[in-house]
Homo-oligomer: A and B are copies of this chain.
Protein backbone atom coordinates (compact mmCIF):
# COMPACT_ATOMS: atom_id res chain seq x y z
CA UNK A 1 0.00 0.00 0.00
CA UNK A 2 1.49 3.32 -1.11
CA UNK A 3 -0.41 6.31 0.19
CA UNK A 4 0.52 9.89 0.96
CA UNK A 5 0.08 9.41 4.70
CA UNK A 6 2.20 9.35 7.82
CA UNK A 7 0.48 6.43 9.52
CA UNK A 8 -2.91 4.78 9.33
CA UNK A 9 -3.71 6.03 12.83
CA UNK A 10 -3.10 9.69 12.03
CA UNK A 11 -4.76 9.95 8.61
CA UNK A 12 -7.80 11.78 9.87
CA UNK A 13 -5.98 14.14 12.22
CA UNK A 14 -3.42 14.93 9.52
CA UNK A 15 -6.06 15.50 6.86
CA UNK A 16 -7.87 17.92 9.16
CA UNK A 17 -4.62 19.80 9.69
CA UNK A 18 -4.36 20.01 5.91
CA UNK A 19 -7.91 21.29 5.59
CA UNK A 20 -7.15 23.95 8.20
CA UNK A 21 -3.96 24.97 6.42
CA UNK A 22 -5.56 25.09 2.98
CA UNK A 23 -8.77 26.82 4.04
CA UNK A 24 -8.29 29.76 6.36
CA UNK A 25 -11.93 30.61 5.60
CA UNK A 26 -13.02 27.55 7.63
CA UNK A 27 -12.67 26.77 11.32
CA UNK A 28 -11.36 23.33 12.16
CA UNK A 29 -12.07 21.96 15.63
CA UNK A 30 -9.32 19.35 15.82
CA UNK A 31 -10.43 17.91 19.14
CA UNK A 32 -13.95 17.24 17.98
CA UNK A 33 -12.96 16.68 14.36
CA UNK A 34 -15.30 19.27 13.03
CA UNK A 35 -15.04 21.57 10.05
CA UNK A 36 -17.14 24.65 10.70
CA UNK A 37 -18.22 27.42 8.39
CA UNK A 38 -17.35 30.99 9.25
CA UNK A 39 -20.33 32.25 7.26
CA UNK A 40 -22.89 34.11 9.34
CA UNK A 41 -25.87 32.07 10.47
CA UNK A 42 -27.71 34.57 12.71
CA UNK A 43 -31.14 33.21 13.41
CA UNK A 44 -31.27 30.77 10.55
CA UNK A 45 -31.38 27.00 10.56
CA UNK A 46 -27.93 25.40 10.68
CA UNK A 47 -27.01 22.33 8.63
CA UNK A 48 -24.81 19.55 9.98
CA UNK A 49 -23.66 16.47 8.18
CA UNK A 50 -20.84 14.05 8.62
CA UNK A 51 -19.81 10.50 8.20
CA UNK A 52 -16.81 8.29 7.90
CA UNK A 53 -13.79 9.85 6.23
CA UNK A 54 -12.47 8.69 2.88
CA UNK A 55 -15.27 10.23 0.79
CA UNK A 56 -13.73 13.68 0.36
CA UNK A 57 -14.76 16.29 -0.63
CA UNK A 58 -17.86 14.93 1.12
CA UNK A 59 -18.53 16.41 3.71
CA UNK A 60 -15.89 18.98 4.64
CA UNK A 61 -15.64 20.27 1.07
CA UNK A 62 -19.27 21.33 1.27
CA UNK A 63 -18.97 23.48 4.38
CA UNK A 64 -19.55 27.16 3.72
CA UNK A 65 -22.14 29.76 2.90
CA UNK A 66 -25.22 28.28 1.25
CA UNK A 67 -24.46 24.69 2.19
CA UNK A 68 -23.27 23.00 5.40
CA UNK A 69 -22.54 24.86 8.62
CA UNK A 70 -20.51 21.99 10.01
CA UNK A 71 -19.19 18.61 9.00
CA UNK A 72 -18.31 15.90 11.51
CA UNK A 73 -15.47 13.67 10.36
CA UNK A 74 -15.35 10.06 11.49
CA UNK A 75 -12.41 7.71 11.15
CA UNK A 76 -11.96 6.30 7.65
CA UNK A 77 -15.24 4.59 6.70
CA UNK A 78 -16.50 4.79 10.30
CA UNK A 79 -19.31 7.11 11.27
CA UNK A 80 -18.47 9.92 13.65
CA UNK A 81 -19.68 9.81 17.23
CA UNK A 82 -22.60 11.51 18.94
CA UNK A 83 -20.25 13.77 20.95
CA UNK A 84 -18.84 15.21 17.76
CA UNK A 85 -22.29 15.82 16.40
CA UNK A 86 -23.42 17.41 19.65
CA UNK A 87 -20.35 19.65 19.68
CA UNK A 88 -21.17 20.63 16.09
CA UNK A 89 -24.76 21.42 17.04
CA UNK A 90 -23.59 23.53 19.94
CA UNK A 91 -21.15 25.37 17.71
CA UNK A 92 -23.54 26.23 14.90
CA UNK A 93 -27.02 26.37 16.36
CA UNK A 94 -28.15 29.96 15.94
CA UNK A 95 -31.46 29.57 17.71
CA UNK A 96 -33.42 28.19 14.79
CA UNK A 97 -32.36 24.61 15.32
CA UNK A 98 -30.18 22.23 13.34
CA UNK A 99 -30.80 19.83 10.50
CA UNK A 100 -28.76 16.62 10.57
CA UNK A 101 -28.15 15.19 7.10
CA UNK A 102 -27.43 11.50 7.50
CA UNK A 103 -26.37 8.87 5.00
CA UNK A 104 -28.28 5.67 5.58
CA UNK A 105 -25.69 3.42 7.18
CA UNK A 106 -26.51 1.78 10.49
CA UNK A 107 -23.56 3.42 12.21
CA UNK A 108 -24.40 6.88 10.93
CA UNK A 109 -28.07 6.53 11.70
CA UNK A 110 -27.55 5.25 15.24
CA UNK A 111 -24.93 7.84 16.12
CA UNK A 112 -26.92 10.75 14.71
CA UNK A 113 -29.93 9.40 16.58
CA UNK A 114 -27.99 9.51 19.85
CA UNK A 115 -26.76 12.98 18.93
CA UNK A 116 -30.30 14.20 18.38
CA UNK A 117 -31.23 12.87 21.81
CA UNK A 118 -28.26 14.65 23.38
CA UNK A 119 -29.01 17.87 21.49
CA UNK A 120 -32.59 17.82 22.65
CA UNK A 121 -31.37 17.36 26.25
CA UNK A 122 -29.30 20.50 25.68
CA UNK A 123 -32.33 22.36 24.40
CA UNK A 124 -31.30 22.35 20.73
CA UNK A 125 -34.12 21.56 18.35
CA UNK A 126 -33.13 19.23 15.54
CA UNK A 127 -34.54 17.39 12.58
CA UNK A 128 -32.86 14.62 10.68
CA UNK A 129 -33.10 13.61 7.07
CA UNK A 130 -31.78 10.25 6.01
CA UNK A 131 -30.45 9.85 2.49
CA UNK A 132 -30.99 6.36 1.09
CA UNK A 133 -30.59 6.64 -2.67
CA UNK A 134 -28.46 3.73 -3.82
CA UNK A 135 -30.63 1.65 -6.12
CA UNK A 136 -28.07 -1.15 -6.05
CA UNK A 137 -29.57 -2.13 -2.72
CA UNK A 138 -33.07 -3.47 -2.40
CA UNK A 139 -35.13 -1.28 -0.12
CA UNK A 140 -37.06 -3.70 2.00
CA UNK A 141 -37.85 -4.47 5.59
CA UNK A 142 -35.30 -7.27 5.23
CA UNK A 143 -32.38 -4.88 4.83
CA UNK A 144 -31.08 -1.80 6.56
CA UNK A 145 -32.55 0.00 3.53
CA UNK A 146 -30.64 1.65 0.77
CA UNK A 147 -27.23 3.19 1.25
CA UNK A 148 -26.84 6.94 1.05
CA UNK A 149 -24.51 8.17 -1.68
CA UNK A 150 -24.49 11.02 -4.22
CA UNK A 151 -27.89 12.46 -3.42
CA UNK A 152 -26.34 13.61 -0.14
CA UNK A 153 -24.51 16.37 -2.01
CA UNK A 154 -27.74 17.53 -3.58
CA UNK A 155 -29.56 17.51 -0.24
CA UNK A 156 -26.76 19.51 1.36
CA UNK A 157 -26.76 22.07 -1.44
CA UNK A 158 -30.49 22.51 -1.76
CA UNK A 159 -31.31 22.42 1.95
CA UNK A 160 -28.42 24.85 2.46
CA UNK A 161 -30.03 27.27 0.05
CA UNK A 162 -33.38 26.88 1.81
CA UNK A 163 -31.74 27.62 5.17
CA UNK A 164 -29.99 30.64 3.68
CA UNK A 165 -33.39 31.96 2.63
CA UNK A 166 -34.44 31.93 6.26
CA UNK A 167 -36.87 29.04 6.07
CA UNK A 168 -37.89 27.37 9.35
CA UNK A 169 -36.42 24.09 10.57
CA UNK A 170 -39.55 22.21 9.51
CA UNK A 171 -39.45 23.81 6.07
CA UNK A 172 -35.75 23.14 5.55
CA UNK A 173 -36.21 19.56 6.70
CA UNK A 174 -39.14 19.18 4.32
CA UNK A 175 -37.20 20.37 1.30
CA UNK A 176 -34.25 18.17 2.31
CA UNK A 177 -36.57 15.21 2.57
CA UNK A 178 -38.04 15.99 -0.82
CA UNK A 179 -34.57 15.95 -2.39
CA UNK A 180 -33.70 12.75 -0.54
CA UNK A 181 -36.88 11.15 -1.84
CA UNK A 182 -36.27 12.30 -5.41
CA UNK A 183 -32.64 11.23 -5.88
CA UNK A 184 -31.33 7.86 -7.03
CA UNK A 185 -27.78 6.63 -7.50
CA UNK A 186 -25.85 3.68 -8.85
CA UNK A 187 -22.10 3.11 -8.88
CA UNK A 188 -19.54 0.83 -10.44
CA UNK A 189 -16.07 -0.13 -9.24
CA UNK A 190 -13.18 -1.03 -11.51
CA UNK A 191 -10.84 -1.58 -8.58
CA UNK A 192 -11.16 -1.96 -4.85
CA UNK A 193 -10.21 0.77 -2.43
CA UNK A 194 -7.54 0.18 0.19
CA UNK A 195 -8.35 1.23 3.74
CA UNK A 196 -5.15 2.63 5.32
CA UNK A 197 -5.59 0.68 8.54
CA UNK A 198 -6.04 -2.53 6.57
CA UNK A 199 -3.22 -2.02 4.11
CA UNK A 200 -4.50 -4.17 1.28
CA UNK A 201 -7.48 -3.90 -1.09
CA UNK A 202 -10.83 -4.56 0.57
CA UNK A 203 -11.81 -6.97 -2.17
CA UNK A 204 -10.26 -8.75 -5.13
CA UNK A 205 -11.48 -7.69 -8.52
CA UNK A 206 -9.91 -9.53 -11.45
CA UNK A 207 -8.55 -7.51 -14.35
CA UNK A 208 -11.47 -8.42 -16.59
CA UNK A 209 -14.31 -7.81 -14.16
CA UNK A 210 -16.09 -4.93 -12.49
CA UNK A 211 -18.45 -4.61 -9.55
CA UNK A 212 -21.81 -3.11 -10.54
CA UNK A 213 -23.58 -1.40 -7.69
CA UNK A 214 -20.57 -1.20 -5.40
CA UNK A 215 -20.93 0.71 -2.14
CA UNK A 216 -18.72 3.66 -1.30
CA UNK A 217 -17.03 1.69 1.46
CA UNK A 218 -16.19 -1.11 -0.89
CA UNK A 219 -19.36 -2.99 -0.01
CA UNK A 220 -19.98 -5.61 -2.70
CA UNK A 221 -22.56 -4.60 -5.27
CA UNK A 222 -25.37 -6.24 -7.16
CA UNK A 223 -23.34 -8.31 -9.51
CA UNK A 224 -19.83 -8.86 -10.68
CA UNK A 225 -19.77 -8.69 -14.44
CA UNK A 226 -17.23 -8.74 -17.25
CA UNK A 227 -15.50 -5.42 -17.78
CA UNK A 228 -17.20 -3.45 -20.56
CA UNK A 229 -16.82 -0.29 -22.65
CA UNK A 230 -17.96 3.00 -21.10
CA UNK A 231 -21.08 3.10 -23.23
CA UNK A 232 -22.32 -0.22 -21.86
CA UNK A 233 -21.55 0.78 -18.29
CA UNK A 234 -23.34 4.09 -18.85
CA UNK A 235 -26.42 2.30 -20.08
CA UNK A 236 -26.43 -0.06 -17.10
CA UNK A 237 -26.16 2.77 -14.60
CA UNK A 238 -28.90 4.74 -16.30
CA UNK A 239 -31.16 1.70 -16.59
CA UNK A 240 -30.75 0.78 -12.94
CA UNK A 241 -31.67 4.29 -11.87
CA UNK A 242 -34.46 5.04 -14.31
CA UNK A 243 -36.19 1.72 -13.77
CA UNK A 244 -36.49 2.69 -10.12
CA UNK A 245 -38.01 6.13 -10.60
CA UNK A 246 -39.45 7.99 -13.57
CA UNK A 247 -37.22 10.89 -14.57
CA UNK A 248 -38.73 11.57 -17.97
CA UNK A 249 -41.25 14.24 -16.99
CA UNK A 250 -39.20 16.53 -14.79
CA UNK A 251 -36.01 18.58 -15.07
CA UNK A 252 -33.14 16.44 -13.84
CA UNK A 253 -29.98 17.30 -11.95
CA UNK A 254 -27.22 14.84 -12.90
CA UNK A 255 -24.19 14.28 -10.70
CA UNK A 256 -21.42 12.01 -11.90
CA UNK A 257 -18.79 11.48 -9.27
CA UNK A 258 -15.48 9.73 -9.57
CA UNK A 259 -14.68 7.32 -6.77
CA UNK A 260 -11.23 8.74 -6.03
CA UNK A 261 -8.89 6.84 -8.33
CA UNK A 262 -10.51 7.69 -11.66
CA UNK A 263 -9.21 10.68 -13.59
CA UNK A 264 -11.47 13.41 -14.92
CA UNK A 265 -10.88 12.52 -18.57
CA UNK A 266 -12.53 9.15 -18.00
CA UNK A 267 -15.45 10.76 -16.19
CA UNK A 268 -16.05 12.97 -19.21
CA UNK A 269 -15.85 9.96 -21.53
CA UNK A 270 -18.53 8.07 -19.67
CA UNK A 271 -20.58 11.20 -19.05
CA UNK A 272 -20.88 11.57 -22.82
CA UNK A 273 -22.40 8.10 -22.96
CA UNK A 274 -24.61 8.77 -19.95
CA UNK A 275 -25.92 11.94 -21.61
CA UNK A 276 -26.72 9.91 -24.73
CA UNK A 277 -28.46 7.21 -22.72
CA UNK A 278 -30.54 9.81 -20.88
CA UNK A 279 -31.47 11.58 -24.10
CA UNK A 280 -32.56 8.27 -25.64
CA UNK A 281 -34.92 7.80 -22.69
CA UNK A 282 -36.40 11.27 -23.12
CA UNK A 283 -34.79 12.60 -19.96
CA UNK A 284 -33.81 16.26 -19.84
CA UNK A 285 -30.73 17.16 -17.84
CA UNK A 286 -31.26 20.65 -16.49
CA UNK A 287 -28.05 20.86 -14.41
CA UNK A 288 -24.99 18.66 -14.27
CA UNK A 289 -21.83 18.17 -12.25
CA UNK A 290 -18.94 15.93 -13.28
CA UNK A 291 -15.98 15.44 -10.98
CA UNK A 292 -14.98 13.99 -7.63
CA UNK A 293 -17.75 14.71 -5.14
CA UNK A 294 -18.34 11.48 -3.20
CA UNK A 295 -15.31 9.24 -3.31
CA UNK A 296 -14.25 5.97 -1.84
CA UNK A 297 -10.59 6.49 -1.05
CA UNK A 298 -8.58 5.37 -4.09
CA UNK A 299 -11.25 3.24 -5.72
CA UNK A 300 -11.44 3.47 -9.51
CA UNK A 301 -14.94 3.81 -10.85
CA UNK A 302 -17.82 6.22 -10.78
CA UNK A 303 -21.30 6.73 -9.42
CA UNK A 304 -24.20 8.42 -11.15
CA UNK A 305 -26.92 10.31 -9.28
CA UNK A 306 -30.08 11.67 -10.84
CA UNK A 307 -32.42 14.03 -9.05
CA UNK A 308 -36.00 14.46 -10.18
CA UNK A 309 -36.18 18.21 -9.68
CA UNK A 310 -38.76 20.94 -10.16
CA UNK A 311 -38.67 24.69 -10.48
CA UNK A 312 -38.22 25.28 -6.77
CA UNK A 313 -35.44 22.74 -6.39
CA UNK A 314 -33.64 24.17 -9.43
CA UNK A 315 -33.95 27.67 -8.03
CA UNK A 316 -32.41 26.49 -4.74
CA UNK A 317 -29.75 24.57 -6.68
CA UNK A 318 -28.78 27.72 -8.54
CA UNK A 319 -28.62 29.85 -5.38
CA UNK A 320 -25.14 31.03 -4.39
CA UNK A 321 -22.85 28.58 -2.65
CA UNK A 322 -19.35 29.16 -1.39
CA UNK A 323 -17.54 26.01 -0.35
CA UNK A 324 -14.21 24.57 -1.38
CA UNK A 325 -15.76 21.89 -3.58
CA UNK A 326 -18.84 23.69 -4.87
CA UNK A 327 -18.88 27.37 -5.53
CA UNK A 328 -20.96 29.68 -7.63
CA UNK A 329 -22.64 33.01 -7.25
CA UNK A 330 -19.83 34.17 -4.96
Contact = CB atoms under 8 A, between A and B. Distances in A.
Interface of A: 2-7, 11, 14-22, 53-54, 56-57, 61, 76, 190-191, 207, 210, 227, 229-231, 233, 256, 260-275, 285, 288-290, 292, 295, 297-298, 300-302, 327-330
A14 B297 CA distance: 26
Contacts of A262: 4, 298
B4 A266 contact: yes
A271 B190 contact: no
B300 A263 contact: no
Contacts of A261: 261, 263, 298, 300
A18 B267 contact: yes
Contacts of A290: 18, 22
Contacts of A267: 4, 18
8 contacts: A4-B302, A5-B266, A5-B269, A11-B265, A14-B273, A18-B269, A18-B270, A266-B298
Nearest to A191: B2
Contacts of A260: 263-264
Contacts of A191: 2
Contact of A327 (B56, B230, B327): B327
Given A269-B14, A275-B18, A263 B2 contact: no
A265 B53 contact: yes
Contacts of A231: 6
Given A261-B300, A262-B298, 4 more contacts: A22-B256, A57-B264, A76-B265, A265-B297
A210 to B, nearest CB: 7
Please give the count of copies of this chain that the complex contains. 2
B21 A265 contact: no
- Chain A at the B interface: mostly helix, strand, loop or mixed? mixed
A328 B325 CA distance: 11
A37 B270 CA distance: 23
A269 B11 contact: yes
Contacts of A190: 2-4
A273 B15 contact: no
A227 B4 CA distance: 10
Which of A16, A19, A76 is packed against the most chain B CB atoms within 10 Å?
Answer: A19
Contacts of A233: 4
A229 B5 contact: yes
A60 to B, nearest CB: 9
Contacts of A329: 330
B21 A275 contact: yes
B300 A229 contact: no
B330 A15 contact: no
> 6 closest Cβ contacts across the A-B interface?
A18-B268, A17-B272, A21-B275, A18-B272, A260-B263, A56-B264
Contacts of A289: 22
Nearest to A330: B328
